[in-house]
Structure 1
Amino acid sequence: MAWLGHLAQCAALALALGTAGVAADQPTGGAAASAPAMPSIALHYGAKPPVDALQAFDIAVVEPDSGFDPRQVATPATAWFAYVSVGEVLEGRPYFKDIPKNWFVGRNDAWNAPVIDQAADGWPAFYVDKVIAPLWARGFRGFFLDTLDSYQLAAKTDAERARQEAGLVRVVRAIKARYPDARLIFNRGFEILPQVHGLAYAVAFESLFRGWNQAQGRYVEVPQADRDWLLAQARTIREQYRLPVVSIDYCPPADRRCARDTARRIRALGITPYVADPGLQTIGIGKIEVLPRRVLVVQERAPGVAIDQSEGVRFVSMPLNYLGYRVEFADTSEDLPEIGPDRYAGVVMYLTGKVTAQPGRFHTWLQARMAQGMPVVFLNDFGTSVTGAVARGFGLKTVRGRVSGPVEVLAKDPMMGFEMPVAPDRNQAEAIQVPDGDGFRSLLRLRSGTLTYDAAAITPWGGYVLGPYAVHESGIGTADSRWVVQPLDFLREALRLPAMPVPDVTTENGRRLLTIHIDGDGFASRAEIPGGGFSGEVLLREIFDRYRLPMTMSVIQGEVSRDGMYPKLSAELEPIARKIFARPYVEVASHTFSHPFEWGRTVPAQPAQPAQGGKAAAGAGDEAYHLNIPGYTMDLKREIGGSIDYINRTLAPAGKPVSLLLWSGDCQPPAEALRLTDQARVFNMNGGDTLITRSNPSWTAIAPLGIHKPGGTFQVFAPNQNENVYTNLWHGPFYGFERVIETFELTDRPYRFKPVNIYYHSYSGTKAASLKALRKVYDYVLAQPLLPLHSTDYVRKVLDWQEMAVAREVADGSAGSDSSAGTQWIVRGDGNLRNLRWSGAGLPDVAAAKGVTGTSPAPGGGVYLHLDGGDARFAVRNAAAPAPATPQLAEASGIVRDWSQRDGVTRFAFSGYFKPFFRLANAGQCRVSVDGKPVAAVRERNTLRVDTAPVTDPNHVRQQVEVRCAG
C-alpha cells in the first residue's frame, strides 16, 4: 500500500512533465475500441482474503503476508497474484533484516517505509531470491509490482533518476529470467516501460477520478490536469505497447454508489477499473460487482440454549438459504462483528425481548450498520423501547393511545397470515406508526382502544415484524410453530434482495437429487423376522442389494469391534460390515466410537437431558451420554479419528476409506469435534431436524443447509430426518417411516427446499413393518425423476454453496445496477455445485452462455440452470423472443461436465451412478457417439435420449459424448 502516499507527489510530477490535454471522460483517440482485453481484477490486502467473493474475479491480488496460500483454495477460474513492493520495504517484512543498511537511500514518511537503492549491486538477485522465490514456492504465479516510482523520493537529478531506473529494469528482467511464466502487473513504472513493456502483463495506476491523500487522511477528487496526464500515459500503454491498463480508485467503503459510478466512468474509457477503500480491505467494484451473499443474524440466546436450537437457526436460516444467502450468527451478549455492505446483504435481528447485555453498545453498532446503508430487519422485537431519539432514528412516528379491549385488524398485507391467521395480541402493542410514503409501507395495522399502531412494516432501512406476527410459538414444542408472515416475501423485500442466479443444492440437470445414508445404530441387533440374522445382514439382502442405489453406510465402532459392547459378537459383525462396505454402490462412513448422545456435555456429573431426535441416554454418570462401553471415558479424538482409523484398518476395502462422519445423538457437535473431522480429512453430516409432514405442515419444520460453528467450521445438516422421529422414537408404529414421503412432497411444492434423502438406522432391518416401510419409500423414489448421488456428493455441494461467488457485469448505458437488462451474470465455485435457480425477469440465454448446458422449470416459478462446472457466465434474453435452436440439456440422471459447442458439434463428458441417461432438446435430428462409438437414441418431439452404462465413481470416470447435428 506504500504507493498511496505518492498521490500529491505524482500530481506535481504530472504537471512538471506536462499534460496531454485529453478531455475528461473521453476515450483517447479511439483506443478504447482497440485496447487489449483485460480480465477483471481485484486487490485485497486484508488479513483474511475473502476467497468466496474474490473468486468472482479473473485476477485477485492479495497481501502475501496475510498467510493466504493459493495452493489451498479450489478456485480454478481465478489467478492469485501476490502484492510485492519493489521501491520500498516495510520493516515487518521477513526479508527486511537481511537488506544491507547502505541500500536504504530515503524514506516514505507517509507510510514510514525506507526507500531502497535500485542501483545497488546485488539488489536484483536479492529481490528474486528473498521476495519472489518464496512466493513462487507457495503457488503464486503472478506479481503486482508496487512502488516502482519510490526512487523519485531520493533521486533529485536526471542522472540519479536514470541510474535508479536502470536498476528497476534489472530487477524486472531478473524476475522474468528466473520465472519466465510469471505474470507481472506494474503499478505505474511509466519511465521504465520503453525497456521492459514486453515483460509486463498489464500496467496499473491509481486515482483516475477519485483518490486518497494518505498524509491528510481524506478522499480527494483528482484534478483535471492530473487525469489528463494519466490518460495520455494510458493511451501510450495501450496503443504503442498493446498492454491492458488498470485504474485503482478510492471511495468510502460504505458508498457503493460512488464505487459503481466511478467504475462506470473508468470503464467507459476502455480502462479496467477497480474501486475500493484506500486500505484495500473491502471487496471493491471493478469490471464486475460481486453481490454479497452473507446475512448476519443477531439474537440473544437464553442461558443453556445451544446455537443449534436457537430461533435464528430454527426459523430464519432456511428462508435465507433458499433465497441464496449464507447465514452467520452473532449474540447480543458478545462483541458484534464489524461488517460492511461489500460482503453482507443485511442484518436480521431475531429478538424475543429487550437487549439486556450492554444495550448502548448494541444500538451504537446497529446505527453504524444503518449508516452504511445496510438493510436491517427486526423480527419480534426492536430490542428497546421505540420512543424519542430511537423512534426518530428509525423514522417512525410515536403515537398516543390507550390499549384496552380486543385488537382489531385495520389493514394487512397479503404476506401476513401465511401459515396461520393473524391472531391479534394486545400484550405486545408498540405505540408506533410508519409515515406515509418515502419508502414506508405498513404490512399490519392494528387498533386496540384508542391506540392505532403498525405491528409490521417495510421501511427505507429494512423492515420489521413484531411478535407474535413473525413466528407464532405455542411454547409446547417446535411442532407447534407457524410462520405468520410469509418469510420469503418479507425477507426479500425488507432486505432489498436483488434478483440474482441463486446457487441451489436440491437439483442437478433438471432432476431432484436423491441421497441415502444409514446411521449404524442397531447393527448388532437381531432381526425379528423369519430367518432372523443381524440387522445388517437383513438390510443387505432385503434393501441394499435389491435396489443397488448409491448409499452411505456407517457403523458404530463400539457396537462392532472387539473393544466395544459386544466383544463376543465381533467375529460375526465385522464380516457383515466388510461385505456391505465392499459393495461398489456403498460409501463408507463412521458413526463414531461410542455414539455420544449429547455432544455438548463436558461434565459427566451433570444430569442427562433427552437427546434431540429421540436418542436419549438412561442412567447417570459418563455412560449416560454415550453407549455403555466397559471402561470407556469420553474422548473426542477416539470418537472421531479413532473410529475412522478402526474402520479403515479393519472393515473398509483397500482404496475405499471412510469419507464421511455421521453425527450421533443430538447431532450438536462442538467446534472441536468439527475440527477433528477436518483433521481426519473426512466430511461431516447430520442434524437439522427437517420434520415437515401433513400433520405439521410448517416451513418452521424445515432445517437450513447447516450451521457455522466457532473457528470457521461448518456442520452440514442431513436433508431430512430419520425413521426414529416418524416412529415415536422407535416405540411404534414401526411402519411410520413411510410418512417421510409426505416430507419429500412438502419440501418439493410449492417450492423445492430440499433434495430427497432416505435416512434411517440399522435397526430398521429388525422388524417386518419397518422393512415394509423402507421398501415403500424406496419404490416411491424410484418412480420419481431423481438423480441418485452419494452423501459426500451432497456435502460437497453444500460446502461449495457456502463459498460460491455471484457477480454481475452491467453494460454501460443499461437500465441500472439492479436490472437484468444488459447484465452478464458470473457465478463461480469449485465445480461441485452445478445448479442455479433464476426467478428474475426474462430467461437465461443458454446459446450465448459459458458453462451453462440448459434449463428446466423450477417449482415455485423460474428455471433451473444446468451447469457443467464451477465457472458460469450468462445473460438474460426476453422471454418472448424465440429461443435459439441449438441443442441443450433438458435433463440427465448423471453428471455433465466440459460442455462445448462449436461448428454444429456439441461435446461433453457424462457419467452416473444409477441408470444414467441424458436427454437433449433441439436435437431430434442429431447423431450421438459415446467414447467414439455411435449409440442408439430415443427420439421424441425434437428431443433425443441416450442411456449409458453406470460407473462406480462418476466424479473421476467420464464418458466422452459427441453430438453432431445436420445443417
Structure 2
Amino acid sequence: MSAFTGGIWRSLAAILAATLAMTLSARADESAHEPSIALFYGAPVPVGQLSAFDAVVLEPDSGFTPSTHAADSPPSKWFAYVSVGEVTPARAYYKDMPPSWLKGSNAAWASRIVDQSAPGWPQFFVDHVIAPLWARGFRGFFLDTLDSYQSIAHTDDERARQQAGVIAVIRAIKARYPEARLIFNRGFELMPQVHDLAYAVAFESLYHGWDQTKKRYVAVPEADRQWLLAQARTLREQYRLPVLSIDYCAPADRACARDAVAKISAQGLIPYVTDGALQTVGTGPARATLPLPRSTSRGNVPRTILVVQDIGPGASLNVTPGVRYISMPLNWLGYRVEFADVAKPLPEGDLSDRYAGVVVWLDYPVPDPSAFRDWLEAQIDHHTPVAMLTTFGIDVNGDLARKLDLVPVAGRAGKRLRVESMDASMMGFEMQPQPDPHDTANVRVGEHSHSLLRLASADAGNDFTIDAAAITPWGGYAMRPFAVFDMPMANQARWVLQPIRFLRAALRLPDDMPAPDPTTENGRRLLMTHIDGDGLASRAEFDVNGGTMKASTATPPQYSGDALYRVIREFGLPTTVSVIEGEISDEGPYPKDAPRLRAIARALFALPNVEVASHTYTHPLQWMRVTGLGKSSSDDTAEGGSRANYNGLSIDIPGYRYNTDREIEGSIRYIDTLAPAGKRVKVMLWSGDCQVPASVIEAADKAGVYNMNGGDTLITKRYPSWAAIAPLGVNKDGFFQVFAPNQNEEPYTALWQGPYYGYRRVLETFEMTETPIRFKPVDVYYHMFSGTKYASVKTLSDVYRTLSAQPLMPVYASEYAQKVLDFQRMEVSRDGDFWRIHGDGALRTVRLPEGRVPDLASAEGVIGYLAGPGGVYVHLSGADARFRVIDATRAAKLPYLAEANGVVNRFARTAQGFSFDLASHVAPHFAIGGEPHAGACIVKANGRMLAPAIAQGRRVYSPAALARNGPDAVHVDVVCAT
C-alpha cells in the first residue's frame, strides 16, 4: 500500500468501521430474535396484515388452507389451533369418538373433556385431527387445553395416567410428522418429558385477561402473575424455549394494548395482545404488525384500503370501477386493496387498525339504506378516513348530514350549471368539469370542510349552489361526473379529479411512507417479455430464413414459432413463452401439424433465455361464463375477444367439457413434458378476457405456478389517460390475480385487421407509464400470431432494439409476479425515527418522495438509492430493512450502489466501502454513487480491476467480459478513500 493510499484511507476507516460495527451488531441482534407469534381465530384470514409475524395460529375451521397460499407466505408460518384436552360437538371428528372417552364438561366453552389415558386416543388424534390439517398445508400446531385433565383427575395416580396420555399424544404427532412445529399452551408439568419437542410455550393472561363465563375483560391478580412469571423463568432459563404471553384487551382500548406489550416485553417474553374472541389482528413485538394509532412513533402503518362498491350479481370484479380506476393510484401510493360488495354484509367493528382508509364508489342507491347509513357512521365514529365517489348511495340529511359537515340544499339546478370555484390542484386534471344539471348531489360543505368544486345555477334568479367535491374532516368526496368522466362512444374515460392527490388528502395517507414499488429494482425499471401461445399453429406468411416480403414456399412449412425463435434468440432477453396444449396435441384441431408444433415448442423452451409457461388446455375465452359463476365482459379489447365459439373455448376438443383442473394442472403436466431437463412450467398466462374467478387462481396456486395477464393497460397518445392504466392486479377472496403490466399487440393492430406494424405504438405506452410517474415496468407482450407477418416480426425487432438502448433490468414474468405478490404481503412500520420494511425478499424497492433519501450511515438492509420518475427509489438487500429518511442535501458522502441491472446478493459494508454479488440475465452493469470525490473508489469484479465510464454524472461499470449472459454472479468489491 502506498503512503498516499494508506493516509487517505485512515481518515475514512474510523467512520466506516464504527458504522460497520453498529450494522453488524444490529444484524446479530436481528438474527437472534425470538419469533413473533400471532393468534387469529376469525374468518376470512387477513393474510396481508398477518404477514409480518413469524408464526400465525389460525382456527382451522375458518376455511383457510395454507397450501393454496404458498405464493403468499412460507408454509412454516401457519399453525393450526388444536384442542388436545377438550372437544366441542362442532368438530368434525367428535362423532367418531367413543362416548367412553368423554369424562367431563367445560361449561364456559361448551366442550367435553377427553380422557387422555383412553387406549387408542393418541393414534385417533393424529389420524383424525392432525393428518387432515397436514394435508391442507399446516406445518405447525398450537396445542391447547393440555391441562384440562386436571378437572377429571383427582388423585396422584389419575393425574399421572392423564399426563402420560397427553405426552403420548405429543410424541405421536412428532413420530408421524417429525418436522411439525409445536406450540404448547401451558402444560408446564409436562415440560421435563417434552420440552425438546416444543417450538415455543404459550400462556394467557399475564396482566389483562378475558373471563369467558362473564364475557368481560379482567385484571389479573398479582399472585397469579407471579406464578406465571416463575413458570416462564423455568422455560427460558432451564429449557431455553421462547415464551409467548397472550393478553386480552378490548379492540378499541389501545392504551391497554400498549401497556400490556410494554410490560410483557420488559419481562423478556414475546407479547401478543388481542381481543377475547381472537377475532382481530392483535398487537405483537415492535418488529411485527402493530395496529396502533397513526400518530404513534412505533408501529405499523396500515397498508390496506377497503373499496366498497356495487358489484352486481354475476359481474366480474375485474371490470368494476374499484379495479379499473381506484386500485392503480392506491397501488402507486404503496397500498394494497380489498373489495366489498355493498349488497352484502360489510366488515364490522372498528376498521381503523385494519384499513388505512375506505373508498366508496356507488353508482346506484344502496339496497339497504339504513344498514349502510349505520355502517358509514360507525366508520366516521372510529376515525377511519372515508372517500366517497360518484354518489353517496343514500340520502344525506339530518344527523348524518351534520356528522358529515354537509348542508342539504333544497331546490333544483335549473337548465344550466356553472363552475363558481375550483381547486385547480385537484380538479380539472385530464379534462375540465362538465356539470350536468340533471345529475347533482344537493349538498354544500360546512365550515370545517374545504370545497374542491363549487357549482352554481347559471339561470337568472336561481341561487342554487352546491359543492360537488370536497375534503372534509372525515375524508372527502367527489360526485358524478367529477371523478372519472366516461366517454362510452370512444370507449375511453378521463380523470376530472387528480386521483393521487385526492386519495392522499381524503384518506390522510402519510406522504413520507416508503412505498413498496414493483416497477423497479436497484434503480432500474424492469423489462420483461411474455408470449401468449395463440397462433403457434399459424403459418408464417413470409420466408423466415430469408427475412423478405416474399411469400414463404419453404418445405416443410414455416410457422409463427419459427420466426419468433429467431427474434428471441437474437436479442437474448428473458422471455416467458407459453403454448396452448390443445393447439399442439394430437387430440386438437391440428393433428397433422401437431408433431411439428411440438418440435417448435421444444426448441423454444430449450433456449437458455426462455421460461416455460402454460396458456391453458383449450384457451377459455369468457372465464366467468365457462365456470358458471356469472357473466363476462364483452369488451372487444380483451385478449382473444373476437374468437369465441359456442362453448366459450377457443380450441375444440371432441367430447371435452370445461374442467378447471384439466385446464390448469393438466396443461401444466403436459407442457412440462416438452421442456428440457431442469425446466418446468413457471407461469400460467390467463387466456381470453382474463376475468378468472378465485377458484381458478386457486387451482394455479395449488399447481405451484405463478399467474399473470389481464388488466388492459392501454394508455397511448390516442388514449392519454390514467384511466387506461391498470393496477398491479386484483385480490379475489384471498387469491391474487397478477395483471400484465400492459396490453398485448391485439389492440395496437385492431385485432389483427391491421396495421400489422401497429405494435410499434407500444413504445408510447412504455413512455407514458414512465413519465412523469413510473407506473409500470416494461412488458413486451404479444401472441404467437406476431410471428406470421413480416411487418409484425420487424416491429418486434424494432421494439427490442429500442429497449436495448435503455437502462432497464430484464426479468422473467415469474420474477415480476413474485414481486407483485410480495407487494401484497409486505409490511411497513415505524420504529421511532426509523422505518422498518418486512417482506419475503422478492420485492426489493421502496420509493421515497422526491428530495428524500435513506440515511446510509445508520441504515440496515439498504444498498443504495437513485432518483427517478416520481420519487427516489431505495434499493433493499433482502426481506428486511430499517432506515431513517433525511433530506438529500444532508446525505453523508458514503459510497453506495446507485443502480444495477441484476439481482444483488450478499451485500456487505466494509470499513473501506462495500461488496456484493451481481447476477444479471444479460451483460451486467452497475453504477456507484456517493463517492467522497471523483475517482476515490477502486472497483474490482471477480478480482479484476474495472475502469469506469461516465454516464449521467455517475461512474458506470460493465464487467461484461467476466460474465456470460445468464444468471452467473459477478462478485464486486468497492474500496474507497476520502
TM-score, with structure 2 as normaliser: 0.79
- 1:584: how far off? 1.5
- 8 A contact 2:126–2:173 mirrored in 1: no
Partner residue, 1:500: 513
Partner residue, 2:549: 530
Q: Structure 1 residues 358, 962: closer, same or farther in 2, change over 3 A?
A: same
Residues of 2 paired with 1:549 and 1:561: CA distance?
Answer: 28
Letter in 1 for 2:827: V
Q: How does 1:711-860 map to 2 (within 5 A)?
A: 712-802=734-824, 804-811=825-832, 821=833, 823-829=834-840, 831-839=841-849, 843-860=853-870
Matched, 1:690 2:686: no
- 1:482: how far off? 0.9
Partner residue, 1:875: 883
- 8 A contact 1:210–1:250 mirrored in 2: yes
Structure 1 segments unaligned to the other structure (5+ residues): 1-32, 812-820
Partner residue, 1:318: 328
- 1:509: how far off? 1.1
- 1:708: how far off? 3.6
Letter in 2 for 1:388: G
Partner residue, 1:611: 636
Q: Structure 1 residues 541, 200: closer, same or farther in 2, change over 3 A?
A: closer
Q: Structure 1 residues 126, 768: closer, same or farther in 2, change over 3 A?
A: closer
- 1:725: how far off? 1.3
Residues of 2 paired with 1:338 and 1:784: CA distance?
Answer: 49
- 1:89-135 residue CA offsets vs partner (Å, 9 max, x unmatched): 556668878999888776443223455788x6999988997899869
Q: 2:884 is paired with a residue of what secondary structure?
A: strand
Residues of 1 paired with 2:693 and 2:167: CA distance?
Answer: 55
Residues of 2 paired with 1:97 and 1:665: CA distance?
Answer: 47
Letter in 2 for 1:527: E
- 1:234-268 residue CA offsets vs partner (Å, 9 max, x unmatched): 78987999876654222333555653465356546
Residues of 2 paired with 1:168 and 1:951: CA distance?
Answer: 62
Partner residue, 1:53: 49
Matched, 1:420 2:431: yes
- Say which of 265, 272, 293 aligns to 1:274: 272
Matched, 1:442 2:451: yes
Residues of 2 paired with 1:208 and 1:731: CA distance?
Answer: 72
Letter in 2 for 1:461: W
Residues of 2 paired with 1:471 and 1:121: CA distance?
Answer: 68
- 1:352: how far off? 1.4
Q: Structure 1 residues 953, 113: closer, same or farther in 2, change over 3 A?
A: farther
Letter in 2 for 1:748: E
- 8 A contact 2:609–2:966 mirrored in 1: no
Residues of 1 paired with 2:382 and 2:633: CA distance?
Answer: 46
- 8 A contact 1:911–1:951 mirrored in 2: no
- 8 A contact 1:610–1:616 mirrored in 2: yes
- 1:171: how far off? 8.2
- 1:758: how far off? 1.2
- Say which of 484, 488, 498 aligns to 1:475: 488
Letter in 2 for 1:468: P
Q: 1:530 is paired with a residue of what secondary structure?
A: coil
Number of corresponding residues: 905
Partner residue, 2:6: none
Residues of 1 paired with 2:165 and 2:381: CA distance?
Answer: 45
Structure 2 segments unaligned to the other structure (5+ residues): 1-28, 291-299, 543-547, 553-557
- 1:700: how far off? 0.2
Q: How does 1:450-465 map to 2 (within 5 A)?
A: 450-465=463-478
Q: 2:611 is paired with a residue of what secondary structure?
A: strand
Q: How does 1:302-313 map to 2 (within 5 A)?
A: 306-313=316-323
- 1:201: how far off? 7.2
- 1:963: how far off? 5.2
Q: Structure 1 residues 202, 596: closer, same or farther in 2, change over 3 A?
A: closer
Q: Structure 1 residues 542, 227: closer, same or farther in 2, change over 3 A?
A: closer
- 1:553-586 residue CA offsets vs partner (Å, 9 max, x unmatched): 3344555555544455446544444333322212
Partner residue, 1:42: 38
- 8 A contact 1:648–1:657 mirrored in 2: yes
Q: How does 1:222-261 map to 2 (within 5 A)?
A: 246-254=244-252, 259-260=257-258
- 8 A contact 2:149–2:159 mirrored in 1: no
Letter in 2 for 1:472: F
Q: 2:817 is paired with a residue of what secondary structure?
A: helix
Q: Structure 1 residues 240, 736: closer, same or farther in 2, change over 3 A?
A: closer
Q: Structure 1 residues 109, 599: closer, same or farther in 2, change over 3 A?
A: closer
Letter in 1 for 2:549: P
Matched, 1:543 2:539: no
- 8 A contact 2:41–2:277 mirrored in 1: yes
- 1:486: how far off? 1.1
Q: Structure 1 residues 292, 229: closer, same or farther in 2, change over 3 A?
A: same
Q: 1:896 is paired with a residue of what secondary structure?
A: strand
Partner residue, 1:391: 401
Matched, 1:890 2:898: yes
Partner residue, 2:4: none
- 8 A contact 1:117–1:164 mirrored in 2: no
Letter in 1 for 2:772: P
- 1:535: how far off? 5.3
- 1:689-725 residue CA offsets vs partner (Å, 9 max, x unmatched): 111112321100001122344x644332211112221
- 1:68: how far off? 6.3
- 1:188-215 residue CA offsets vs partner (Å, 9 max, x unmatched): 6778889999998766544455432222
- 1:635-685 residue CA offsets vs partner (Å, 9 max, x unmatched): 355655565555444x54344344334333333344555455445544332
- 1:597: how far off? 4.1
Matched, 1:286 2:314: no
- 1:464: how far off? 1.4
Q: 1:797 is paired with a residue of what secondary structure?
A: helix
- 8 A contact 1:922–1:943 mirrored in 2: no
Q: How does 1:636-675 map to 2 (within 5 A)?
A: 636=659, 640=664, 643-644=667-668, 647-649=671-673, 651-671=674-694, 673-675=696-698
Q: Which moved more, 1:887-896 or 1:638-647?
A: 638-647
Residues of 2 paired with 1:827 and 1:759: CA distance?
Answer: 31
- Say which of 723, 729, 733 aligns to 1:700: 723
Letter in 2 for 1:851: G
Letter in 1 for 2:471: I
Q: Structure 1 residues 627, 208: closer, same or farther in 2, change over 3 A?
A: closer
Q: Percent identity?
A: 48
Residues of 2 paired with 1:181 and 1:95: CA distance?
Answer: 24
Higher relative contact order (CA 8 A, sep 6+): 2
Q: Structure 1 residues 796, 235: closer, same or farther in 2, change over 3 A?
A: closer
Q: Structure 1 residues 121, 80: closer, same or farther in 2, change over 3 A?
A: same
Q: Structure 1 residues 577, 441: closer, same or farther in 2, change over 3 A?
A: same
Partner residue, 2:390: 380
Q: Structure 1 residues 136, 472: closer, same or farther in 2, change over 3 A?
A: closer
Q: 1:739 is paired with a residue of what secondary structure?
A: helix
Residues of 2 paired with 1:786 and 1:607: CA distance?
Answer: 36
Q: 2:356 is paired with a residue of what secondary structure?
A: strand
- 1:456-509 residue CA offsets vs partner (Å, 9 max, x unmatched): 222333321111111111332432x11111111222222233443322211111
Residues of 2 paired with 1:199 and 1:669: CA distance?
Answer: 43
Letter in 2 for 1:248: I
Q: Structure 1 residues 748, 934: closer, same or farther in 2, change over 3 A?
A: same
Letter in 2 for 1:530: M
- 8 A contact 1:597–1:611 mirrored in 2: no
Q: Which moved more, 1:556-565 or 1:792-801?
A: 556-565
Q: CA RMSD in A?
A: 4.6
Residues of 1 paired with 2:306 and 2:958: CA distance?
Answer: 46
Q: Structure 1 residues 742, 656: closer, same or farther in 2, change over 3 A?
A: same
- 8 A contact 1:151–1:161 mirrored in 2: no
- 1:56: how far off? 0.8
Letter in 1 for 2:508: R
Letter in 2 for 1:915: A
